[in-house]
Structure 1
Amino acid sequence: MEAAQRREEILGILQDSTQPVSASTIAGRFKVSRQIIVGDIALLRAANHAIAATPRGYILTDAAAQTGRLVKTIACRHGRDNLARELYVIVDNGCGLIDVIVEHAVYGQISGQLHIFSRYDADCFMEKLEKEKALPLCDLTGGVHLHTLSCPSEEAYERVLNELRKDGILFEK
């Protein structure tokens, strides 16, 4: 199979998936190395395909917009001790975390794609942070950060706000 054809098929895989797909999974399907797939994804991005790399794999970033869900942004502030609680409040109320955004003094806006839609996703994210000994982006900004949420309804969004507010996680001033 030629590389161009493989890239078209990779796009098809991502279009058919509602969940992130790992580079290893894609590589296994085409019997190539994971690094070949990483290169293919880079070329697809360079060709203006909206592909995000999440902790669990690649996803088309416009997929969430096609579901008809509300997209909202919230500001939060907490330390690592409340990270899991924040994630659980959001997913337990039916919403999903698309990304995290921080304002860095040197680099400006930095964002990380999360695509966390369940407690399982949240637990995988937390385990990966621990395993890799990685710091969450909010550590760069004294805990202040933004999240883009995908919500099934205004009511679900309001439930998230109320619980985060009650826990002292919602950043409001």
Structure 2
Amino acid sequence: MSGNKKILGDDRHLFIVSTLKNSNIPISGRELGLLTNVSRQIIVGDINLLKAKGEPIMATSRGYLYMHPMIEPKRIEKIIVCNHSPEQTEEELMMLVDYGITVKDVKVEHPVYGDLTASVMVSNRSEVVDFIKNIHQTNATFLLELTDGIHSHTIIADSEQQIESAENALRDAKILVE
């Protein structure tokens, strides 16, 4: 933290919401902490409070995003089921984004915890590379490792054709489960 004065309580919450609303890219908790002169842990608590108050803030692997209401044309969401090794994750995600697909999340069915869902939110090759790099740098495990490779994704596309083409590519790679 710098020598600047801390932004306190409600003023900090307003600042966080305003900053996230005005950004088209994720902003990390560390960066928000530096901007408000508080710790990243304080920001994590603030984000949780803001989410509890109904602010549509999403935590991604690259930081926080404010989820603006969609005014763009209706996009198609579909859940697909896949099965592959952890080493094939990058290949799978690249195939999807190459067809204009956004991979919203990954889900697994855990025998004890039930459905576990994690945000992925990748739409292009650069975001996939960053996502995979973040997994490796943090020594995190892929959720699919909990279920011997079986997992699902919520995918988003502009057309049925994009989804169909992506599914065909995954089918050819023997990744899609039908």
Normalised TM-score (structure 1): 0.89
- Aligned mates of 1:63, 1:70 — CA distance in 2: 18
- Aligned mates of 1:98, 1:64 — CA distance in 2: 16
Q: What is aligned with 1:37?
A: 43
**Within the alignment, does 1:27 sit opposite 2:33 as a pair?**
yes
- Aligned mates of 1:36, 1:83 — CA distance in 2: 33
2:26–2:65 CA contact under 8 A, matched in 1? yes
In angstroms, what is the RMSD of aligned CA positions?
A: 1.8
- Aligned mates of 1:85, 1:65 — CA distance in 2: 29
Q: Which amino acid aligns with 2:34?
A: G
Per-residue Cα deviation, 1:83-135 (whole angstroms, up to 9, x for no partner): 11101001111111111111100000101111111111111111122222221
- Return the index of the structure with the highest Cα Rg: 2
**Within the alignment, does 1:164 sit opposite 2:174 as a pair?**
no
Task: Give the aligned length.
Answer: 171
1:21–1:56 CA contact under 8 A, matched in 2? yes
Q: Which amino acid aligns with 1:24?
A: R
1:64–1:150 CA contact under 8 A, matched in 2? no
**Aligned-partner SS, 2:104:** strand
Q: What is aligned with 1:82?
A: 88
In structure 1, list runs of 5 or more residues that go unmatched. none
Q: What is aligned with 2:3?
A: none
Q: What is aligned with 1:111?
A: 117
**Within the alignment, does 1:53 sit opposite 2:59 as a pair?**
yes
- Which of 129, 149, 158 does residue 155 from structure 2 map onto? 149
**Within the alignment, does 1:9 sit opposite 2:8 as a pair?**
no
In structure 2, list runs of 5 or more residues that go unmatched. 1-6
- Which of 91, 97, 101 does residue 91 from structure 1 map onto? 97
- Aligned mates of 1:122, 1:139 — CA distance in 2: 18
Q: Which amino acid aligns with 1:49?
A: E
Q: What is aligned with 2:4?
A: none
Between Structure 1 and Structure 2, the one with more helix by share is 1
Name the % identity. Answer: 36
| Mean Cα deviation higher: 12-21 or 154-163 | 12-21
- Aligned mates of 2:41, 2:116 — CA distance in 1: 25
- Aligned mates of 1:65, 1:72 — CA distance in 2: 17
- Which of 125, 135, 141 does residue 129 from structure 1 map onto? 135
Specify whether residues 71 and 65 from structure 1 end up closer, same or farther in structure 2 by C-alpha distance, changes over 3 A only. farther
